[in-house]
Amino acid sequence: MKNNNEMLALFENYLAQMQLPEEPQLLYQPIIYAMSAGGKRIRPTLLLLSCEAFGGDVRDAMSAAAAVEMFHNFTLLHDDIMDNALVRRGKPSVYAEWGENVAILSGDAMMIYAYKLLRNVPDEKLPRIMDIFSEMALQVCEGQQYDMDFEHLKKVAVAEYMNMIELKTSVLLAGSAMIGAVMGGASEEDCRKIYRYALELGLAFQLQDDLLDSYGAEKVLGKKIGGDILEGKKTCLMLNAMSRATEQDREVLRHTHLDTSLSAEQKIARVKEVYDRYDIPHIINQQITTRFERALTILSTLDIPAERTVYLKEFAQNLMGREK
Amino acid sequence: MKNNNEMLALFENYLAQMQLPEEPQLLYQPIIYAMSAGGKRIRPTLLLLSCEAFGGDVRDAMSAAAAVEMFHNFTLLHDDIMDNALVRRGKPSVYAEWGENVAILSGDAMMIYAYKLLRNVPDEKLPRIMDIFSEMALQVCEGQQYDMDFEHLKKVAVAEYMNMIELKTSVLLAGSAMIGAVMGGASEEDCRKIYRYALELGLAFQLQDDLLDSYGAEKVLGKKIGGDILEGKKTCLMLNAMSRATEQDREVLRHTHLDTSLSAEQKIARVKEVYDRYDIPHIINQQITTRFERALTILSTLDIPAERTVYLKEFAQNLMGREK
């Protein structure tokens, strides 16, 4: 069996050999640019680890792994247009480099190409894998729409936020894990379990992402903390705090980012003071740990020997930057 | 067997019963809006006629027919953003009604939904039909990119233009016809032939579209003629004229639409005078007739009784507004 790094290397090797058409250049060059810009290849790696855990041959699953990575990158291309984001992975986004029309159309071609790659799974597995893939892909769109909706809403419940991040980010991990399991010949029950494992892990990861944006170490993150606070973003910290705070503190949470009399540092400090008073970092940390441990527990209930789940456990730890 | 109108009615009935999710509203409402805005349902009708011509049960093919219609409407949503087009079928485009972000994301969801619909074909036919569909869908994107490329090019050859319209519009007709044939159990050879039939027909239709924009009867078209000339569009008339004209006449073709001293009527008259002098309407008309007749001839070579092709012949005549 291959560990996370070995699996990633195999996948990178497969991607590097993938041949896209050359013409029209403005359709395919942005795809090559986006796909070779790196990224952690989280979803294809999970798909392949899941496949191998259930005894599948990862060579048969490479194309499906490339499909989920292609799909993920397609969503980034279109998200960057919608968010007017000019930088992606430290380089100009496709939107910034080639403009909006190219980013729309190349993104469209990427999604079609994802299905084209998916088609290479064995015929008898295609219907099931297409079901999982299309369901997951639609949910990602739903999550993105809810995310955009929330920007314009005054009040978002914590449960609505959890549903949004589940759709927008976790189902893609969960679907990838499930496709890998189907490729590996897992039982229906194990497919559902591995889906749940990745869903919990994805939620833990997203909550941690929110937490680190306000409480992380800048050196480790490689970026300034407090960005979400300065944008007034409705993160899990903000929404949990809003649900617990007095009306007076809610006013602080709502308006601090708009207060032109304050410096960035002052804004961040003022909002974090409220978070701290309501113990929000601790509460979120507990939620993260609960979900992370739930994910690991699910692994132990799979109908395969424990030693086959060791790299799925490693995957979870790597993703969360945790030792145990 | 069902004629064109009966087939269209069956399809409309199927579409009307199709249930899309309700939430998030800003994702699914635009899809419902776009799909119920009418249109001629050319592609699904052709798919179903092709299926029945080869002896298939059209009820099994309804979902695939809805898939090609959904895909076609997805391309319109995204094209309208790229072209900044505010009106579609006499109503505000999704882009105009809901804005760019909604049009991007709803379009994305439509494409995924098209694959979800396609998935409902019988399992044993799914791999083949997915191949046809994805190939066709990628080619449509390529055609759209070439079309955008051409706007910025000084010189476009007639052959390049023909390749572009083949990709942008004809392959979607051709792929639809071929999917119908596969659903109907046609032989590989007949699948290729029906593809060719629809491809020729699509090209004839697109050439006629260009011709009518400058030479049609306004009453019949329901719009003013000369729009392409006023935009300086590189149509088949323009490119054929450019390839035949003297340098002096080429200057007229290139610059008349930019000449602010002329009225719209004068611009149209001046360009058409050049077209007429080089016999362009007649040349294009011949090309249309050649392709149209080639399409009908292909029908007569199919390995099915002649009476089974009668509605495919009717389809071609309806599309072109011709009696024979």
Contact call for residues B185 and B122 (beta carbons, < 8 A): no
pLDDT of residue B183: 98
- Per-residue pLDDT reduced to its tens digit, B265-309: 999 999 999 999 999 999 999 999 999 999 999 999 999 999 999
For chain A positions 233-292, those within 8 Å of chain B (CB to CB) are none
pTM of the model: 0.96
Is B105's CB within 8 Å of A78's CB?
Answer: yes
Q: Given an 8 Å threshold on Cβ–Cβ distance, is A127 in contact with B130?
A: no
Taking an 8 Å cut-off on Cβ atoms, the answer to whether A138 and B144 are in contact is no
- Give B73→chain A minimum CA distance, Å: 13
A145 and B CB contact within 8 Å: yes
Q: Which residues from chain A sit within 8 angstroms of residue B114, using beta carbons?
A: none
Interface touch B111/A116, C-beta < 8 Å:
no
- What distance in Å separates residue A166's CA from the closest CA in chain B? 14
**DSSP assignment letter at B22:** -
Contact B78 A108 (CB under 8 A): yes
Query: What's the pLDDT at B323?
Result: 66
Interface pTM, i.e. ipTM: 0.96
Q: Can you list the residues of chain B whose pLDDT is less than 70? A: 323-324
* A164 touching B (Cβ < 8 Å): no
Is residue B98 within 8 angstroms of chain A, CB to CB? no
Q: Report the C-alpha gap between B309 and A186 in whole angstroms.
A: 47
Query: HEC states along chain A?
Result: CCCHHHHHHHHHHHHHHCCCCCCCHHHHHHHHHHHCCCCCCHHHHHHHHHHHHCCCCHHHHHHHHHHHHHHHHHHHHHHHHHCCCCEECCEECHHHHHCHHHHHHHHHHHHHHHHHHHCCCCHHHHHHHHHHHHHHHHHHHHHHHHHHHHHCCCCCCHHHHHHHHHHHHHHHHHHHHHHHHHHCCCCHHHHHHHHHHHHHHHHHHHHHHHHHHHHCCHHHHCCCCCHHHHHCCCCHHHHHHHHHCCHHHHHHHHHHHHCCCCCHHHHHHHHHHHHHHCCHHHHHHHHHHHHHHHHHHHHHCCCCCHHHHHHHHHHHHHHHCCCC
Q: Residue B107 and residue B117: Cα distance in Å, rounded?
A: 15
Local confidence pLDDT in tens for the 324 residues of chain A: 999 999 999 999 999 999 999 999 999 999 999 999 989 999 999 999 999 999 999 999 999 999 999 999 999 999 999 999 999 999 999 999 999 999 999 999 999 999 999 999 999 999 999 999 999 999 999 999 999 999 999 999 999 999 999 999 999 999 999 999 999 999 999 999 999 999 999 999 999 999 999 999 888 877 889 999 999 999 999 999 999 999 999 999 999 999 999 999 999 999 999 999 999 999 999 999 999 999 999 999 999 999 999 999 999 999 999 865
Q: Rounded to a whole number, what is the distance in Å from the CA of B63 to chain A's nearest CA? A: 15
Q: Which of B21, B105, B115 sits opposite A130 (nearest CB)?
A: B115
DSSP per-residue string spanning B60-119 = HHHHHHHHHHHHHHHHHHHHHHHTT--EETTEE-HHHHH-HHHHHHHHHHHHHHHHHHHT
In A, minimum Cα distance to B126 occurs at A127
Q: Using CB atoms, which residue from A24, A112, A127 is nearest to B134?
A: A112
| Chain A contact probe: residue of B112, B136, B166 with most A CBs at under 10 A | B112
What amino acid occupies position A39?
G
CA angle at B115 for the pair B114 and B116, rounded to the nearest 5°: 90
Q: How far apart are CA A139 and CA A18, in angstroms?
A: 28
E strand or H helix at B287: helix B280-300
CB of B85 less than 8 A from some CB of A: no
From chain B, the residues in CB contact with A145 under 8 A are 24, 26-27, 105
Q: Kindly report the average pLDDT of chain B as a whole number.
A: 96
Task: Indicate yes or no: CB of B24 within 8 angstroms of CB of A137.
Answer: no
A3 part of contact set with chain B, CB < 8 Å: no
Asked if the Cβ–Cβ distance from B137 to A81 is below 8 Å, we say no
Q: Which residues of B touch A98 (CB under 8 A)?
A: none
Backbone angle region of A299, left / alpha / beta, with phi > 0 → left and psi within -120 to 50 → alpha: alpha
Domains defined along chain A, listed by start: 4-320 (1.10.600.10)
Helices (H) and strands (E) in chain B, counts: 17, 2
